[in-house]
């Protein structure tokens, strides 16, 4: 041991540290043991009290849980039903009772007693007569609350829950559950310690005597601490005694003493580990310097250095040693680098010569590739020549087969091309016209103007344009007859001079057709005006006599209804209805006719005002139908105010009429699209099938019978007419059952 300590500074320092730590540990133990003694004694007492409380809560939980389980069983509809259905007791009540699991797996006898306290069912088939008039059942039924009681022998606890029957608002019987006390107060080791024992009693009865008290009648309260508590249960105070046996401080204090010994050993080991390491770190650099010096002495080329760090004295020594080694090695390294650089330059010169040889070989390859490209260019030139010849042939074919006359003149205005269509149109042969001027082809009065036109065209920038402008052009056939034409002229530059080509089309037949069309339109407009005038006059003239007829039959109805026989009343009612309907029809027709009559009185109007007027006119219908009218911000338009009001009124009235069986929301929208305004009237009504989109705008067209929806079939026709008179258009977008949206575009009235 002595040699071991003398051998190393590290060993001596380690032994010193261990001795110090052991001393401190024993000192601390000596001071703390009395305090720990007090703490252990106090904790033991508190733990015993806590244990007793836990045991009490555990027993109370068991009793409450059993009682609640019984109470819930008493609410079961089969249990209740059995009180009014005696024949069902075997069918469903007995199985239910047999299947009932008493909480905590306790055994129990379950008995159902009726309102006379007579047993009517049980979970076993034993003799039930002993339960008749059971006092606990009586108490539960009379109070309407669960009750708990102890049988006279003190061996069985009885739970009772009353059964309530809502249809008569009364308690009609009780459920009785008998549980052996011994099983109820069995406590697991989780709640009772190995050295503890408890006793449950009620009055003079010992309800539960655990195995730890076997052979003794009562608990020996002198042998150790006893904790007495009471279970708070309905009506039955139950006592609980818990006693700790062999409660002693020797065991815990012994365990603490052993812990101190273990701690001292642990601290010694730790001191050995903790002290030895720093002392070793102090001596390690000296050992390292010694090792490197020995290595260099053995091999002068050795690259080793001393791994000494830190700023203390030993660190400084190590650094000075390493600096000396570094300078020696640098001198050696300088010599070796000079030799390496010279070798490198020689290698670079050799690589440059090899690259020059490779470039010469590449130049030869490029020359051969250029010769190949030249051959390919020649081949392409030949191909283009062939295409050019084909194109000329194609052009000749086009000119020969053209339906229009094609005539080319040179800079001296002499004909150089006169195609077959020109020959046919003018009646001159190509041979006759080649080298001639165009004078023979145009009437005398156009010849001078034509020469001026050709001259002016030469100075223009454009290479082609239509001839004549707004004027009608005419040509002259060989037989002297003039005919209308369309002509266009073009020019191109060829062989240092200009050439002009004129393309002419004979429009004699088209002009005749256009003239006929203009004539038809004039006739149709005149006819429509006559018809509208007639409809207006007819409606206007019809309204007076009809008003007279309607008034008369209404008077007839008011004065004589009920005085004539039933058939007469029916006839009069038909007449009133027909006259009213006809008047509505004529009013609508008159409005329809007035659209044309007022078409020229457009002014600047506010669409918002027009909509307000339309809504005001429909006030009653809107109120009756509970419809809601909303709108976007609407612009001012140049239009006829009364007709726009009529238009909006008809569309909104339409939306209300076809709303279906629920109130509808009608929205009037407006958006600008280019120079136009697109208005919309959207509803949530019955909608329209797409196949009727056009039909609904026709006059007198209806999609429903008059019994389903009233009306004349003129409203939407009137809308269409108003919109068209304003230069606009109207259409509908809809889907059956999902509402409809009418759109109309308004332009300024012409």
Interface size with other proteins, residues (CB under 8 A): 23
Q: Which of 118, 399, 467, 556 binds other proteins (CB under 8 A)?
A: 118
Q: Can residue 81 be called a binding residue for other proteins (CB under 8 A)?
A: yes
Provide, rounded to whole angstroms, the least separation between the CB of residue 127 and other proteins: 20
Q: Can residue 698 be called a binding residue for other proteins (CB under 8 A)?
A: no
Closest to other proteins by CB, 80 or 688: 80
Give long-range contacts, CB 8 A cutoff, 24+ apart: 231-237. 231/56, 231/59, 231/60, 231/63, 231/200, 232/60, 233/60, 233/63, 233/148, 234/146, 234/147, 234/148, 235/147, 235/148, 235/149, 236/148, 236/149, 236/150, 236/202, 237/202, 237/203
Residues 604-643 that bind other proteins (CB under 8 A): none
For 67, residues 6+ apart whose C-beta sits below 8 A from its C-beta are: 146, 148, 159, 161
Provide, rounded to whole angstroms, the least separation between the CB of residue 69 and other proteins: 20
Q: Is the dihedral of CA 100, 103, 106, 111 positive or negative?
A: negative
Distance CA 200, CA 60 (A): 12
Stretch that binds other proteins, among 72-80, 101-109, 197-205, 248-256 (CB under 8 A): 72-80
Give long-range contacts, CB 8 A cutoff, 24+ apart: 573-582. 576/550, 579/546, 579/549, 579/550, 579/553, 579/554, 580/550, 581/706, 581/712, 582/546, 582/550
Closest to other proteins by CB, 86 or 316: 86
Provide, rounded to whole angstroms, the least separation between the CB of residue 86 and other proteins: 4
- Is the CB of residue 648 less than 8 Å from the CB of residue 611? yes
Closest to other proteins by CB, 172 or 402: 172
Closest to other proteins by CB, 141 or 503: 141
Provide, rounded to whole angstroms, the least separation between the CB of residue 115 and other proteins: 5
Q: Can residue 692 be called a binding residue for other proteins (CB under 8 A)?
A: no
Residue with tokens 């009471």: 230
Closest to other proteins by CB, 114 or 733: 114
- The burial of 680, by beta-carbon neighbours within 10 Å (0-12 exposed, 13-18 middle, 19 or more buried), is given as middle
Closest to other proteins by CB, 169 or 378: 169
Stretch that binds other proteins, among 73-81, 208-216, 455-463, 545-553 (CB under 8 A): 73-81
For 695, residues 6+ apart whose C-beta sits below 8 A from its C-beta are: 701, 703
Distance CA 122, CA 137 (A): 14
Cα-to-chain-centroid distance, residue 117: 66
Closest to other proteins by CB, 114 or 151: 114
Stretch that binds other proteins, among 80-88, 253-261, 467-475, 531-539 (CB under 8 A): 80-88
For 684, residues 6+ apart whose C-beta sits below 8 A from its C-beta are: 659, 662, 664, 665, 738, 739
Q: Can residue 78 be called a binding residue for other proteins (CB under 8 A)?
A: yes
Stretch that binds other proteins, among 108-116, 460-468, 498-506, 521-529 (CB under 8 A): 108-116
The DSSP-derived string for 205-224 is EEEE--GGGTT-SS--TTSS
Residues 158-197 that bind other proteins (CB under 8 A): 165-170, 172-173
Distance CA 517, CA 403 (A): 25
Q: Can residue 85 be called a binding residue for other proteins (CB under 8 A)?
A: yes
Q: Which of 58, 92, 104, 692 binds other proteins (CB under 8 A)?
A: 92
Q: Is the dihedral of CA 53, 58, 62, 64 positive or negative?
A: positive
Distance CA 631, CA 614 (A): 13
Q: Can residue 129 be called a binding residue for other proteins (CB under 8 A)?
A: no
Closest to other proteins by CB, 76 or 451: 76
Q: Is the dihedral of CA 60, 63, 67, 70 positive or negative?
A: positive
The SS3 of residue 124 is coil
Q: Can residue 87 be called a binding residue for other proteins (CB under 8 A)?
A: yes
Provide, rounded to whole angstroms, the least separation between the CB of residue 151 and other proteins: 25
Provide, rounded to whole angstroms, the least separation between the CB of residue 166 and other proteins: 7
- Is the CB of residue 408 less than 8 Å from the CB of residue 415? yes
Closest to other proteins by CB, 94 or 664: 94
Stretch that binds other proteins, among 75-83, 385-393, 490-498, 579-587 (CB under 8 A): 75-83
How do strand 665-673 and strand 628-631 relate by DSSP bridges? parallel
Stretch that binds other proteins, among 112-120, 583-591, 705-713, 740-748 (CB under 8 A): 112-120
Closest to other proteins by CB, 40 or 115: 115
Q: Can residue 90 be called a binding residue for other proteins (CB under 8 A)?
A: no
Element (H, E) at 668: strand 665-673
Closest to other proteins by CB, 173 or 318: 173
Closest to other proteins by CB, 85 or 482: 85
Provide, rounded to whole angstroms, the least separation between the CB of residue 97 and other proteins: 17
Q: Can residue 88 be called a binding residue for other proteins (CB under 8 A)?
A: yes
Cα angle value 616/617/620 (rounded, 5°): 85
Closest to other proteins by CB, 169 or 705: 169
Q: Is the dihedral of CA 250, 255, 256, 258 positive or negative?
A: positive
Provide, rounded to whole angstroms, the least separation between the CB of residue 128 and other proteins: 15
Chain residues in the site for other proteins (CB under 8 A)? 77-78, 80-81, 83-88, 92, 114-116, 118, 165-170, 172-173
């Amino acid at each position: 041991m002595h040699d071991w300590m003398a051998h190393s500074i590290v060993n001596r320092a380690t032994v010193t540290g261990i001795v110090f730590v052991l001393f401190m540990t024993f000192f601390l133990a000596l001071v703390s043991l009395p305090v720990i003694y007090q703490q252990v004694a106090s904790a033991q007492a508190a733990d015993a009290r806590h244990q007793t409380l836990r045991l009490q809560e555990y027993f109370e939980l068991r009793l409450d849980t059993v009682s609640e389980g019984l109470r819930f069983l008493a609410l079961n509809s089969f249990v209740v039903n059995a009180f009014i259905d005696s024949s069902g007791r075997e069918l469903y009540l007995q199985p239910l009772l047999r299947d009932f699991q008493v909480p905590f797996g306790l055994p129990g006898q379950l008995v159902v007693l009726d309102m006379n306290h007579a047993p009517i069912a049980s979970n076993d088939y034993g003799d039930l007569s002993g339960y008749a008039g059971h006092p606990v059942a009586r108490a539960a039924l009379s109070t309407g609350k669960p009750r708990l009681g102890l049988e006279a022998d003190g061996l069985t606890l009885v739970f009772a829950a009353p059964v309530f029957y809502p249809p008569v608002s009364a308690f009609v019987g009780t459920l009785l559950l008998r549980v052996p006390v011994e099983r109820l107060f069995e406590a697991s080791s989780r709640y009772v310690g190995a050295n503890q024992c408890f006793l449950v009693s009620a009055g003079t009865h010992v309800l539960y005597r655990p195995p730890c008290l076997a052979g003794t009648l009562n608990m020996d309260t002198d042998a150790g601490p006893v904790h007495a508590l009471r279970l708070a249960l309905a009506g039955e105070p139950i006592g609980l005694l818990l006693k700790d046996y062999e409660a002693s401080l020797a065991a815990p204090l012994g365990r603490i003493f052993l812990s101190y010994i273990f701690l001292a050993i642990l601290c010694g080991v730790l001191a050995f580990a903790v002290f030895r390491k720093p002392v070793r770190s102090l001596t390690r650099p000296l050992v390292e310097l010694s090792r490197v010096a020995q290595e260099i002495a053995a091999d002068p080329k050795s690259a080793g250095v001393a791994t000494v760090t830190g700023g203390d004295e030993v660190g400084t020594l190590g650094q000075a040693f390493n600096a000396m080694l570094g300078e020696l090695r640098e001198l050696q390294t300088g010599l070796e680098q000079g030799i390496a650089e010279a070798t490198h330059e020689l290698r670079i010169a050799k690589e440059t010569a090899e690259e020059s040889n490779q470039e010469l070989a590449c130049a030869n390859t490029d020359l051969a590739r250029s010769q190949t490209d030249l051959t390919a260019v020649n081949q392409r030139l030949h191909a283009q020549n062939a295409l050019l010849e084909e194109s000329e042939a194609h052009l000749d074919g086009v000119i020969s087969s053209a339906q229009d006359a094609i005539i080319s003149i040179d800079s001296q205005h002499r004909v150089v091309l006169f195609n077959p269509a020109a020959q046919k149109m003018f009646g001159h042969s190509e041979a006759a016209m080649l080298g001639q001027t165009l004078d023979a082809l145009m009437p005398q009065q156009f010849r001078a103007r034509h020469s001026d036109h050709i001259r002016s065209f030469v100075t223009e920038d454009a290479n082609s344009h239509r001839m004549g402008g707004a004027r009608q052009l005419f040509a002259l056939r060989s037989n002297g007859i003039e005919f209308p034409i369309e002509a266009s002229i073009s020019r191109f530059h060829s062989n240092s001079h200009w050439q002009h080509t004129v393309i002419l089309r004979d429009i004699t037949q088209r002009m005749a057709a256009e003239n006929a069309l203009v004539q038809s339109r004039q006739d149709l407009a005149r006819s429509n005006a006559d018809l509208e005038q007639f409809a207006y006059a007819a409606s206007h003239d019809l309204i007076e006599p009809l008003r007279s007829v309607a008034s008369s039959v209404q008077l007839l109805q008011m004065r004589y209804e009920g005085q004539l026989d039933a058939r007469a009343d029916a006839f009069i009612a038909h007449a009133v209805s027909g006259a009213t309907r006809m008047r509505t029809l004529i009013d609508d027709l008159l409005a329809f006719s007035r659209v044309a009559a007022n078409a020229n009185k457009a002014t600047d109007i506010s669409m918002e005002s027009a909509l307000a007027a339309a809504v005001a006119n429909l006030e009653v219908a809107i109120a009756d139908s509970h419809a809601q009218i909303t709108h976007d911000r609407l612009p001012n338009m140049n239009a006829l105010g009364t007709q726009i009001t009529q238009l909006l009124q008809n569309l909104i009235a339409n939306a209300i009429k076809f709303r279906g069986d629920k109130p509808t929301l009608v929205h009037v929208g407006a958006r600008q699209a280019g120079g136009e305004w697109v208005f919309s009237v959207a509803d949530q009504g019955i909608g329209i099938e797409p196949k009727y989109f056009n039909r609904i705008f026709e006059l007198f067209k209806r999609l429903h019978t008059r019994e389903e929806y009233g009306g004349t079939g003129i409203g939407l026709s009137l809308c269409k007419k108003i919109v068209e008179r304003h230069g606009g258009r109207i259409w509908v977008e809809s889907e059956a059952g999902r509402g409809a949206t009418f759109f109309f575009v308004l332009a300024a009235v012409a």
